[in-house]
Structure 1
Amino acid sequence: MIKIGLVEDNAQLGQDIRDKLALGGEVTIVWEERDGSSALKAMQLEALPDVVLMDISMPGMDGIEATRLAKEKYPSLKILMLTVMDDEKKLFEALKAGASGYLLKEIRPHLLKNAIDEVLEGSLPLSPSLASMALNYLKGKPKAQESLSPEMGKLSKREQEVLQWLKKGMSVRQIGEQLFISDKTVRKHLEHIYEKLQVHSGKEAIAKGFER
């Protein structure tokens, strides 16, 4: 079972998220808190969950500040932001704070479960409208000089292609669609990539495979 920590100040919205996760299966909520401060206490007093679903707008400490503090203390913790609005400023503040993804609360149950799986695999899921914002933002920025790391020589041509698509923010499913291979095959390639590069996540693989 995937252990989830839920941070949501609205009890009804919290129940809605619980209901969605119940439909996805293989997920259990180990604790639920109403603000960032209490969430940090839960992380300290109880076993860390596999993924934290973090609301952004909350009284007291908001989700972005809670994410920043949590990532300082628990760098490997996966935090998936949930919000009711596609706010470009909040998106980049959350990612800068260390969020592992950013979704709208209206997301369908099976897509929420998929996003949780993707976060655990090292991908960075974004709601479609938010992904478009991110792409437009990046298009407006000058590209940094980038070259392949010598470590890339350890990977097969197909593994390099998978890593290239992963670097562009593609999920496992999207990579499979681009390369016309199954999700299972993509995951197997990622396993080989992590093993060859001696890393444990997609972010680490990208950092080791490319040099700026």
Structure 2
Amino acid sequence: MGLRHLADLSAARWLVDETDRPWTERVTFGPGGFAAYARVRFLDDPAFPGQSENDVAPAEDAPTESEQIGFALETLSGHTATPDDCYFCLWDGWGTEIAGSPRVELPHRSYFLFRGSLTDWRAADLWPGQPRGTTPDPAFVWPADHAWCLAKDVDPHWAGVGGSEAAVAGLLADPRLDVVRADPAAKQPTYY
């Protein structure tokens, strides 16, 4: 069936309406109020202050960021009653053009909203409106039942996930992923 672009942004209100939290926390972990949070790391955390991301590289056989997002979503699919009814936000900074389309607006970020199953974003070779040959990762993914939310901002070397204790435990136990527990309100490790 594939992803469907949505002009009605009401499903994203839970991202937008949380104005009492810092914008960086919102774009890197999604909504507050989950029982547990974690970071899916694409690179090890910095070894020293001021370290550049250019100073480290994933192992040659390491899965790509997109593959790791896919693994995380596979694991999270078992922690929702609605894996076939999910929402996806695509950052508008990837060159996507959907003429006249409304955007989900957070401070310093704008997104297009889509709906589909958890497998739809991986099955398609492009997002609707995205230039052919490019398949960026979603900035946010959440099921219709709000059981969890995965957030992948463009800047960090990780994706944040909020969900139940069982969902985070499932991510921590997945041998394909490098996952650590996280406190969204705490300062997160960053490369420079």
TM interval, shorter chain, is 0.3 to 0.5
Q: Pick the structure with more strand per residue.
A: 2
Q: Pick the structure with more helix per residue.
A: 1
Q: Which has the higher contact order (CA 8 A, sep 6+)?
A: 2
Task: Normalising by structure 2, report the TM-score.
Answer: 0.34
Task: Normalising by structure 1, report the TM-score.
Answer: 0.32
- Of the two, which has the highest radius of gyration? 1
